[in-house]
Structure 1
Amino acid sequence: MFSGKTILLMGARQVGKTTLLKKLQDKNNLPTLFLNADLPIVRERLTNVGVEDLRTFLGDSKIVIIDEAQRIKNIGLTLKVIHENFPDVQLIATGSSALELANEINEPLTGRKWEFQMFAISWKELVNSSNYFEAFDQLESRLLFGMYPAVLNNKGQEREILNELSSSYLYKDLLSYQGIRKPQIIEKLLTALAFQVGSEVSYNELSRTLEIDKATVENYISLLEKAFVIFRLQAFSRNLRNEINTSRKIYFYDNGIRNAIIDNFNPIGLRTDIGALWENFLISERIKKNQNERVFAKNYFWRNHAQQEIDYIEEGDGKISAFEFKWNPKAKSKFPNSFLETYSPEKTMVVSKENFHEFI
């Protein structure tokens, strides 16, 4: 705050961005203007606005918060005008979609911004809000219902909340985006991806299943990433002949959203997809941990043509770490010698429910 830069807070809808900023507003006790760009009047007033109009609009505010800023046309230019003409004002913009916001602000605000991504509650935050034993007692519920604040705060209403979230609400910005011509395809695509968590995803296969061309599949997946619904892992490779480097896996930022999309909240003991649930949970939580702690690492999986595979690879500061995920602590797991000999990873770890706390 007040370091001479605009602050951008990005993240999916309902992860708590507005709540955080309202608490920030109370804590700072400074004149604050809170603008919700979901309201048409706010969008109208902040589109292509001049300096003098802004001076009247902002008044004596020291903090200006524009919530859901991606809804405002040419928002990047508006943010730049405020930043350059009102140096005493701390400007904060939030976005539940990186679609237009990222495209429009990066150039106008080059060198003028701090950017943060906010996630749903992390495992570490859950532990800190109670204790490890209470959090561990919830582990199976978290694999089923995820970590959204409203889910955690409304026990017994998890399915209703997740069903509402996983409908178009979570990605409603996409539906008004010019690249989405068939909204129903988004839902079918999400369903297909939800069933393939932990498996390699073929754009060609999705194209045939959904009866749309491959380029459209790639475009829609990219848009869902920018709406913070899913994320991709690419295959790790140094171009060795026996490695596969064109593959990708797709995960959901939240287990509850994934389960709502396929409408399956059966208990863990009755599920055939516990491996996928565990893998999705651990990777999404690891990404939260790294981002929240400002750890800069690239994420991959690894597989070769002999069908040997490693679930998760991290590369940072020239060091490689490899992780395998097993829900059952007694399940056997071995890291392929070909990988160990080629890359000499600094760390290898089999992550089970007995030691996952160390990983996330």
Structure 2
Amino acid sequence: MEIARLQKQWIKDKLYKGKVIIIIGPRQVGKTTLINEILKSENFLFLDGDDPTIRELLNSPNTEQLKGILGNYPLVFVDEAQRIKDIGITLKIIHDRFNDLQVLVSGSSSFELSGLTQEPLTGRKWTCFLYPISWEEWEKHAGYIRAEQSLEERLVFGMYPEILTNVAEQKELLLELSESYLYKDIFSLGLIKKPDAIHRLLQALAYQVGNEVSFNELSNLLKIDVKTVISYIELLEQAFVIFRLGTFSRNLRNEIKTNKKIYFYDNGVRNALINNFSPVSLRNDIGALWENFLISERVKFLEYHKLNREIFFWRTKFQQEVDFVETFDGKVLGFEFKWNPKQKVSFPASFVESYNAETKVIHRENFREFVMDKNRQKI
């Protein structure tokens, strides 16, 4: 069962336009599957970064060596490129010396791939992010009724492709994913001095979804210094396990200006970390599940539809709060997330008046207009 990805057409439109195309995202989200689907009718050379021979061949080759490796192929696909040392320099040489060659590159950890390619490939690349299956992709595949029936299950088990296509084994697959695959690159590079601390840190963050995170409190809880906590959180962000939401602050003196909230790219991973797969009806954290689901889906939506918007949360020292704030073209949008459509919500007047903000409550019955395609957007 193959689920059509929204990024497919964008990638196809960028082929043979004179730039390297880089696809990055978490492990197991279907990057290789997507590229192979796009290239199924193309004549291309496949280079696997997991293959030691390929890594050796692409480790600082000169132009003549590259000419021999690439041959007369019109297109080359380098998979798991983050495993190849100095891949950015090699891609720069290929781009500059082989003008008619299209290069596609995939990688699972942005802290390696993006970092190594940013400077060498400045002005030479298109970058595409691929996340777990979006609700928009899932509903287009499954149909409205089936998707609607699955919503509560998706809040618990998430949206990874293998989870959606292997429902009978989703618990076991999620536990395996959260315990090994997601951190493979971090561990293999020796970037973590205390591997057990990563899991304990993620568990602590999983319990704090929707709340502001204190690095000092995490440091005391985990018995590691604050700098290590911050460093590990940055690595987990770059490996696409979590992402931070900063505070929105422009005018008011009592606004919180430096705090962060941390969310998971996938609800299933979050629940696997705390080993809680209970159904929604039996949980006391439905607010956190709903908020994490909606914000992660909005991140996918904005990326896949190339909407250049900044995202935040808003709070004052007097505990006035708006769950999610989006800004673009001088506009400010404020959102509150409630699972129950009947729950009453009042937006702080200081927020609405100070920023002339449009506001909206996103709940169980209207969430599609927040996470679906642009034609359905009302906000």
Structures share fold, TM-score greater than 0.5: yes
**1 CA distance for matches of 2:162 and 2:191?**
31
Task: Tell whether 2:121 aligns with 1:118.
Answer: no
**2 CA distance for matches of 1:65 and 1:152?**
27
Q: State the Cα distance separating 1:134 from its structure 2 match.
A: 1.5
Match of 2:222 in 1: 210
Which structure 2 residues correspond to residues 157-196 of structure 1 after superposition, within 5 A? 157-196=169-208
The alignment partner of 1:327 has SS state of: coil
The residue identity in structure 2 corresponding to 1:115 is T
Match of 2:34 among 17, 20, 25: 20
Match of 2:22 in 1: 8
Match of 1:358 in 2: 369
Task: Tell whether 2:193 aligns with 1:201.
Answer: no
1:202-224 deviation line (CA, Å, top 9, x unaligned): 00000011111111111110110
Runs of 4+ in 1 over 3 A off after TM superposition: none
The alignment partner of 1:184 has SS state of: helix
Match of 1:324 among 336, 340, 361: 336
**1 CA distance for matches of 2:282 and 2:143?**
28
The residue identity in structure 1 corresponding to 2:30 is G
Q: TM-score, normalised by structure 2?
A: 0.93
Contact 2:265–2:296 (CA<8 Å) still a contact in 1? yes
Task: Tell whether 2:111 aligns with 1:99.
Answer: yes
Match of 2:8 in 1: none
Match of 2:149 among 122, 137, 141: 137
Q: State the Cα distance separating 1:178 from its structure 2 match.
A: 4.4
Match of 2:249 in 1: 237
The alignment partner of 1:38 has SS state of: coil
Contact 2:291–2:337 (CA<8 Å) still a contact in 1? yes
Q: State the Cα distance separating 1:332 from its structure 2 match.
A: 1.3
**Structure 1 unaligned residues grouped into runs of 5+:** none
**2 CA distance for matches of 1:124 and 1:213?**
41
Contact 2:22–2:105 (CA<8 Å) still a contact in 1? yes
Task: Tell whether 2:66 aligns with 1:46.
Answer: no
**2 CA distance for matches of 1:88 and 1:165?**
39
**2 CA distance for matches of 1:36 and 1:167?**
24
The alignment partner of 2:198 has SS state of: helix
Q: State the Cα distance separating 1:117 from its structure 2 match.
A: 0.4
Match of 1:81 among 84, 89, 93: 93
The residue identity in structure 2 corresponding to 1:17 is K
**1 CA distance for matches of 2:42 and 2:271?**
42
The alignment partner of 2:21 has SS state of: strand
1:53-109 deviation line (CA, Å, top 9, x unaligned): 111111121111111111111110011111111111110111110112111111110
1:307-358 deviation line (CA, Å, top 9, x unaligned): 011100001111110000000111111100111111111x211011011011
Tell which deviates more after alignment, 140-149 or 171-180.
171-180
Contact 1:31–1:60 (CA<8 Å) still a contact in 2? no
Match of 1:271 in 2: 283
**2 CA distance for matches of 1:35 and 1:187?**
33
Which structure 2 residues correspond to residues 61-72 of structure 1 after superposition, within 5 A? 61-72=73-84
Match of 1:223 among 235, 246, 261: 235
Q: State the Cα distance separating 1:245 from its structure 2 match.
A: 0.8
The residue identity in structure 1 corresponding to 2:22 is L
Q: State the Cα distance separating 1:120 from its structure 2 match.
A: 1.1
The residue identity in structure 2 corresponding to 1:206 is L
Contact 2:60–2:90 (CA<8 Å) still a contact in 1? yes
Q: State the Cα distance separating 1:34 from its structure 2 match.
A: 1.2
RMSD: 1.0
**1 CA distance for matches of 2:42 and 2:295?**
39
The residue identity in structure 2 corresponding to 1:2 is Y
How many pairs does the alignment contain? 357
Q: State the Cα distance separating 1:239 from its structure 2 match.
A: 5.0
Q: State the Cα distance separating 1:183 from its structure 2 match.
A: 1.2
The alignment partner of 2:324 has SS state of: strand
**Structure 2 unaligned residues grouped into runs of 5+:** 1-14, 372-379
Contact 2:251–2:354 (CA<8 Å) still a contact in 1? no
**2 CA distance for matches of 1:96 and 1:331?**
40
Tell which deviates more after alignment, 236-245 or 2-11.
236-245
Tell which deviates more after alignment, 163-172 or 250-259.
163-172
Q: State the Cα distance separating 1:38 from its structure 2 match.
A: 1.5
**1 CA distance for matches of 2:109 and 2:236?**
9
1:23-49 deviation line (CA, Å, top 9, x unaligned): 1111xx232111121222211111111
Contact 2:59–2:86 (CA<8 Å) still a contact in 1? yes
